[in-house]
Each structure stands twice: as C-alpha cells, then as structure tokens.
Amino acid sequence: MYVDPAYTSQECSRCHHVDKRNRPSQAVFECRSCGFVEHADLNASHNIAARGWCLWARGAKSAAPVFTPSV
C-alpha cells in the first residue's frame, strides 16, 4: 500500500498537530502543541503506519508505482 509521506516528519503521532518547528533537529521530534517527545524517525513511522491502516480499512487500492525491472 502506498502512503504519501508528506509532512509525516512534522506531524505529531499523538495529537496530529503539524508544525515544521516540531523538528528542532534531524533526530528529535518535540510537539509544540502537546509536548510529546520522540525520535523523529520513529514518530514519522507511526504516522505512516496510521495512514496506511486508514487506507487499508477504507478498502483503498494500492497506488504504489509499478516496478518494472530493467534488463
């Protein structure tokens, strides 16, 4: 299932507040709204998983680009 990763690194996986200031550094995520703190990559992965689950639950078809191997 393809999940658009846009803004997943700026979105809080707890309260879903999106703000570029939520990423004070490459590795740290600190929500400006609820104060949640987590490693930035882990936070983004939670957001991607949640978006994927929502798409799957709605019965959405995969929109992933088709891979065609080159010879």
**Does any domain span residue 71?**
no
pLDDT at 68: 81
> For residue 70, is it within any domain?
no
Range of the domain at 12: 1-63
Res 65 pLDDT > 80: no
Residue 56, pLDDT score: 87
At 6-63, the pLDDT tens digits run 999 999 999 999 999 999 999 999 999 999 999 999 999 999 999 999 988 988 776 6
The pLDDT score that the predictor gives to residue 59 is 87
What are the angstrom distances between the C-alpha of 11 and each of 20, 52, 57, 59, 61? 8, 15, 21, 24, 24
Split into its structural domains, the chain has a count of 1
Q: Is 64 exposed, middle or buried (0-12, 13-18, 19+ CB in 10 A)?
A: exposed
